Chains A and B, each alone.
Chain A
Amino acid sequence: MILRSLFMRRAANLGATLLMGFGTFLVLLPLGIIFYHIIKMGFSSINLHFFTKIPKPPGEIGGGMANGMAGSAVMIGMASLVGVPVGIFGAIYLTEYGSGKLGTSIRFCADVLSGIPSIITGMVAYALLVVPLQGFSALAGSFALALIMIPIVLRTTEEQLKMVPVSLREASLALGVPLWRTTLKVTLRSALTGVITGILLATARVAGETAPLLFTALGNQFWSKKLTEPMAALPLQIFNFAISPYDDWHRLAWGGALVLVVMMFGLSLAARWLGRGRHTG
């Protein structure tokens, strides 16, 4: 290393420190700006009708996004029905038996899968469900969301199960409880809050997914009555209203964005709160 004067070294240190601090400021700046706009524009467009009415045609004042919120809730619920059990049981396999090559490759596949663009998941759901059923449907939308949920639930649950002390399992096994019951009644139960945290985070993640719904659930201007017909979803409505040229619809989109953000942060705050309780209690 070339010897430099202490002054130069200190100056370089100061410069680097300032640059890093400034960089961090630049990174966080958009967060502030985006939140400012969502809150400012969102609150002014939210009222009771926003939660109870369906969108009105452009030009008519008022209307809401009730069908989108309900549709999102239905599809996320159905996706969780598939994604949560598959993820949890898969994670149990990885924790209990997955130390070998197969376990490693499943983990690797899960990580790779969560990096695949969600629009491709939507195309696959289209090919597997929309084409055979001959129409866009809430079912296909839920299926696409479930595919996205599975690897997330699997990996977060595995992390939680691994944190359960071996001594607990050993105690149960020593009492003569078979491994499968130990897993379900001791390991899974001790990790339950952590597992729920993971599920909440996965839900928050799929709640904002738009691309996989574009050609599966498609969206709906009205209420959907059946799972086999197109269904509205909050993110889809935000997208369609945002790219429309109408100010009224822009207002609705901002309101929808506020609802979506509040819901997602609510979920992750709940997850955090649960996670914290586990460490202290």
Chain B
Amino acid sequence: MEGRLDTSTTRKNGDSLFRTVTLLFACSIIAILLVMAGEMVTESLPSLRKFGWGFITGSDWDAVQGSFAALPYLYGSVVSSILAIGLATPLSVGTALFITELAPHKVGAVTASLVELLAAIPSVIYGLWGILVMTPWLQSTVEPFLIEHFGFLPFFRGAPYGVSMLAAVFILMIMIIPIVTSITKEVLLAVPPSQKEAAVALGATRWEMIRMAVLPYGRSGILGAVILGLGRAIGETMAVTMVIGNTPQISLSLLSPAYTMPSVIANEFAETTTKLHASALMEIGLILLVVTLAINFLARLLLWSVTRRWKGGVA
């Protein structure tokens, strides 16, 4: 700090200039969102005009004929994400409870940082492991087992390919557990100790305390974490692209290959030949954007209601 004396006018000017400059930078966030949405809409207009609602009800994707419809991709995204979050939720909540309520302080802290390590692994590395280690294992061990013992169910029919909807569900589950766990943990930490102490004072066992004091209090926050995990799963690109088999078909069987919205973008967008093809991919991107925006909006509302000082860095 130089000991220069500012007159009150230069000070005012300096402060208001500073305020304006920082405001511009802060508003860039809103600008980015608007530009993203605007670009996605304008770029998908040709496809929107040409195919209308048929785009999401049909399943014909043919770059040569120039007809595009995205139902198999929608189906693949929705099914893989919902199954993954369904499997991930109990495990994540259990782990978060283990960290916050059960484990001794040090064990909990170590577990929490291991979970954060899992969250920090890049998607492409999950994919690498998925395609070179997990899918061969699924093909040689898990899928034959499922076919032999549960083959009477329509979900486990067909040949064991390895790359399949099942592989995508597994890899997605592994990838979203850390996110759901760490956010659930934050939510559980926000439960006032008085609630828990009251339950314990009434003679509740630890599980009863969790069931009656902790979980009801954290319900909307946990729901927010789960919805956020769902959004992550729907937008997940690399790992899924590497293990799902990239076949645009709608099949009840989890053993057959499938395709998702981000995967088709990842595979085809760099090599589009016609404007319409690019526009159709943009429209898939637009659907993805709208869905993830809605999901994130909802999740953040739920989470913000639980804890005001929410860290953006977590997700």
Residues on B with beta carbons closer than 8 Å to the beta carbon of A268: 120
A24 touches B98 (CB 8 A): yes
Complex: A111 Cα to B131 Cα, angstroms:
32
* Cross-chain contact A34 with B122 (CB below 8 angstroms): no
What's the minimum C-beta distance from B110 to chain A, rounded to whole angstroms? 10
Task: Report B-chain residues with C-beta under 8 Å of the C-beta of A66.
Answer: none
- The answer to whether B128 touches A253 (Cβ under 8 A) is yes
**Residue pair B122, A111 in contact (C-beta under 8 Å):** no
The answer to whether A142 has its CB under 8 Å from any CB of chain B is: no
In A7-48, the 8 Å CB interface with B consists of 9-10, 12-13, 15-17, 19-21, 23-24, 26-28, 30-31, 33-34, 37-38
> Does A183 reach chain B (CB closer than 8 Å)?
yes
A225 to B5, CA, bound (A): 51
Alpha-carbon gap, A11 to B81, bound state (A): 35
Q: How far is the CA of A116 from the CA of B288 in the complex (A)?
A: 9
B238 within 8 A of A: yes
- With A109-B30, A116-B296, A124-B39 given, is the CB distance from A239 to B312 under 8 Å? no
B contacts with A, residue count (CB < 8 A): 93
Q: Show 7 A/B contacts (Cβ-Cβ < 8 Å), sorted by A.
A: A15-B207, A16-B210, A23-B95, A114-B312, A116-B292, A179-B15, A210-B123
Which residues between 111 and 144 of chain A lie within 8 Å of chain B, taking CB atoms?
111-121, 123-124, 126-128, 136
Q: Is B238 touching A210 in the complex (CB atoms < 8 A)?
A: yes
Q: A17-B102, A96-B22 are in contact. Are A242 and B132 (CB under 8 A)?
A: yes
Check if A176 is an interface residue, CB within 8 A of chain B. yes
Q: Are A119 and B124 in contact (CB under 8 A)?
A: no
**Chain A residue with Cβ nearest B22:** A93
**CB within 8 Å of A: which residues of B?**
1, 5-6, 11, 14-15, 17-19, 21-23, 25-30, 32-33, 35-36, 39-40, 43, 90-92, 94-95, 97-99, 102, 111, 114-115, 117-118, 120-129, 131-133, 174, 177-178, 181, 205-208, 210, 228, 231-232, 234-238, 242, 262, 265-266, 269-270, 281-282, 285, 288-289, 292-293, 295-297, 299-300, 304, 310-313, 315
B313→A265 contact, CB < 8 A:
no
Contacts of A126 in B (CB 8 A): 269
